[in-house]
A and B are shown apart, each in its own frame.
Chain A
């Protein structure tokens, strides 16, 4: 079965703190995506990770991929209120007809 599990599903954090969101997946993948969704809005692409050890950074967000562990992390550094959103990882399973499976999403609330 193709599974993508995110944790935590809900994260409340203080401004200035660091935290990590985890994305585990069940079988071999060739690429992994992180998306952001603001309340009532659509999804926008944050990162695409294409190979083992890939690291991408944009502002206070850094994503990494460990294909051997089937794990991606989204690290938040010194959180600010503007980062409050829902974050989804999505995994492309190439051996299953390039099926893209989304995680359940992590709701992030950054408190001032």
Chain B
């Protein structure tokens, strides 16, 4: 059981380049989300999805796009990378979006992105 798989683990980009961070889960979770982690700021929600075909913005969505064509996959796209997007990105999933049960998030291993 792989859980939540993120790729790549490390990436260096130049300003203006685009890239996609991949996230896949094999737990049949309805809810998937992307967070960025910056020192002293905890985790901030970028985008989330409560099911295939449904996405919504979180706290810091600017500069990022997402799509959810399948239950398993939730890629995060950086359209035109900026140095302010240098961060560690985590994908997380849970069984549902929060209306029932404990809904503990399962996190991927993280992707460290540096934008020069």
Interface residues of A (CB under 8 A from B): 4, 9, 31, 33, 41-45, 48, 50, 88, 90, 92, 94, 98-100, 102-105
Contacts and interface: CB of A to CB of B under 8 A. Distances in A.
Interface of B: 35, 40-45, 90, 92, 97-99, 102-110
A4 B27 CA distance: 29
Given A92-B98, A98-B98, A100-B98, A48 B104 contact: yes
A42 B37 CA distance: 11
Contacts, number: 49
Nearest to B40: A104
A9 B39 CA distance: 11
Contact of A48 (B90, B97, B102): B102
Contacts of A100: 45, 98, 105
A31 B44 CA distance: 18
A61 to B, nearest CB: 16
Given A88-B42, A98-B97, A42 B107 contact: yes
A100 B50 CA distance: 14
Given A43-B90, A98-B97, A88 B109 contact: no
A54 to B, nearest CB: 11
Contact of A42 (B41, B45, B102, B110): B110
Contacts of A44: 107
